[in-house]
Amino acid sequence: MIYFMYMNVMRQKRYHYYPKVYNMNVQRITAMSEVKFNLTPIEKKPSRLFKKGSKYDPILDAFIEGEANLVEASMEDKDANYLRTQLNKRIEARTMEGIKVSVVNNVCYLEKV
């Protein structure tokens, strides 16, 4: 990417706008040297030592376990649009289907679809 940016600058003949890009590229090329490393084959990646998840997961879990198809969700000190974004990220990360998060008049709603 740096090389691409540098070539675009060269084509436009605007050297003074990106003087550091060229220097970084040169430093990367000239600073290359032999590096010692070790690769060890393993059967399985170790599990995490800390808890996976998010502080927004309990909201989704309670909604899934509940019987209501439409609920209003709120969180202390969090804007409805921010809450919607975080809940949508958790839904995507957990590959959940059938849940829709929306905001109307600065109120966040969870809906089973």
CA-only gyration radius of the chain, Å: 25
Q: What is the pTM of this model?
A: 0.56
CB 1 within 8 A of CB 9: no
Query: Who's near 9: CB < 8 A, 6+ residues apart?
Result: 15, 17, 18, 21, 22
For the chain, domain boundaries? 1-31, 57-112
Q: How confident is the model at residue 52 (pLDDT cuts 50, 70, 90)?
A: confident
With a cut of 50, say whether residue 20 has pLDDT above it: no
Joined tokens for residue 21: 């890009």
Q: What is the Cα–Cα distance from 88 to 91, expressed in whole angstroms?
A: 5
